Structure formats: C-alpha cells, structure tokens
Amino acid sequence: AQSVTQLGSHVSVSEGALVLLRCNYSSSVPPYLFWYVQYPNQGLQLLLKYTSAATLVKGINGFEAEFKKSETSFHLTKPSAHMSDAAEYFCAVRYNFNKFYFGSGTKLNVKP
C-alpha cells in the first residue's frame, strides 16, 4: 500500500537553529511530493512541491526540500528557525489519479 511516513510527531528547536523534518514515501515509482503547513485553526497551506524538474526544491518562508530517490525521502529543512515557523507540517504524495496521501504530521515547536 502506498504510504507516507513522517518521523517524529513533535520536533523542538531553538530559534536560529536548523529545522529538519523527515518524510519517507513507499513506492518504486517517483510520485509528486508536497509539504504543507498548518497554523492553528486554519487549513493547510502549500510550502513547496516536487514534480521531477529538480531534486532540490525551494519553497516559501525559506524552506526547502530535497528529493532522494535512493532513500525514498523528501525531508524538509530550513537553515534558521523563526518563532513564526511554529506550526504543524504535513508531507504528502500524489501518484496517478488525483488521490493525495498525507503523513501523520509533525508539530514544530520553536523555543526562544
């Protein structure tokens, strides 16, 4: 079955530290990959997407993610965390058809 795994339901970093949120997918066929962010009481907002054009994808708010086929991973990073980055982050994949599979989410806490 196709799935998305996000390691770590909660991640805590200090302001200014590196942010690394992990995402692995299960498929031999490279899918379309996405990262979304959700702030409290809001819907999900697209951070970035991978569509096979380039393995390193840059998104909004200084986030980027690297597609590694050999590791079936699409980890999200940001060099320096800001207090406003505190939110929940979801990794998602889409294969054929319009069905998206979401990971269970990682809540990012940023300490001052």
Partner 1 sequence: KAGVTQTPRYLIKTRGQQVTLSCSPISGHRSVSWYQQTPGQGLQFLFEYFSETQRNKGNFPGRFSGRQFSNSRSEMNVSTLELGDSALYLCASSSGTTSSGANVLTFGAGSRLTVL
Residues that bind partner 1 (CB under 8 A): 32, 34, 36, 41-46, 49, 51-53, 90, 92, 94, 96-105
Residue among 52, 43, 103, 98 at smallest CA distance from 76: 103
| Distance of closest approach, residue 8 Cβ to partner 1, in angstroms | 14
DSSP 63: -
Closest distance to partner 1 from the beta carbon of 109 (Å):
16
Task: Pick between residue 17 and residue 86 the one whose CB is nearest to partner 1.
Answer: 86
Nearest distance from C-beta of residue 104 to partner 1, angstroms: 5
What is the sign of the dihedral through the CA atoms of 10, 29, 65 and 86? negative
- Rounded to whole angstroms, the Cα distance separating 95 from 91 reads 14
